[in-house]
Amino acid sequence: MKKLFLPALILLCSCSTTNDKTAEGALARVNKEYLYASDLQNIIPAGTNSKDSIIIVKNFINNWVYDKLILQKAKNNLLKKDIHFEKQLEEYQNSLIIYKYESKLISQTLDTVVTDKEIEAYYKENIGNFQLKDNIVKVYYARFDDKLPELPKIRKFFNSNEPEHRDSLENYIEKFSDLYYHDDETWILFNDVVKYVPINTYNQEAFLQNNRKMEINEGGIVYFICFSDFMIKDGESPLGFEKENIRQIIINKRKLQIISKMRHEVYQTALTGNGFEIY
């Protein structure tokens, strides 16, 4: 929105004029408080048309009036002890200042590179903390229109165990499938698979133990699904499944170390310089 347009809007939305100097140029008043044009700067997003801009300004003014009226009502009906927030506000402000400083310190000094060796070491040292809460699988699947002329060839390649047929299958998948997943070297949640593939089962564990390759025809769509591996919940979670989780754990530990080091250095510096006393 052009800057020259805001004064025009304000003129359209202004209340009746007054000779009171305090009210000169004011857009609204509640008791002894006034709303001025300067309070409306940057409330209208760039590119907003004239009609919507006027609505935004009017809504802002009306909301300001409502808030001031309700605030005054609350103050008149609450005891002084109920609205004594100075200590809480100071503590909150102090917390925000500390948080802002710590965040900047972390952004300036944090090393976000975590090697596979570090991840593996952490996994081995904390293996007891990595237990599966859900069933996971290694899988590839794809769906096709059941009228597709190439479907017999796709079925043949899907049911074959020849490595070169897998390459041919993937070529057909990329050409003719509108929904597929073929990274069967990565562990994923079985529940994520059933979001996209119509597998109906009341016992996931039994299903996974008794199905490796399957074909499902539903509503004119053919689904080909192959489970290359699976792990049942409550067992030990594999490293491959926990890799990104461990990466974040290590990074978070580094953040805590940065903060802990900073706090210790601040304390030691003040202690050496007689910057504080505890009585």
DSSP per-residue codes, 90-135: HHHHHHHHHHHHHHHHHHHH------HHHHHHHHHHTGGG-B-SS-
Could you tell me which CATH class the domain 128-231 is placed in? alpha beta
Q: What is the mean pLDDT of residues 39-47?
A: 84
* pLDDT for 7 beyond 70: no
pLDDT tens column, 84-128: 788 888 899 999 999 999 999 999 999 999 999 999 999 999 999
The rounded radius of gyration (Å) of the Cα atoms in the chain is 32
User: Could you tell me if 140 and 229 are in contact, meaning their C-beta atoms sit under 8 angstroms apart?
Assistant: no
**Which of 180-194, 204-218, 243-257, 264-278 has the weakest average pLDDT?**
264-278
* Ramachandran area for residue 267 (φ above 0: left; ψ -120 to 50: alpha; else beta): alpha
Q: Residue 64 corresponds to which tokens in the numbers above?
A: 């300001």
How many CB atoms are located within 10 Å of the residue 61 CB?
19
* pLDDT for 4 beyond 50: no
Give pTM, 2 decimals: 0.68
User: Three-class SS of residue 56?
Assistant: helix
Domain boundaries defined on the chain: 5-79, 128-231
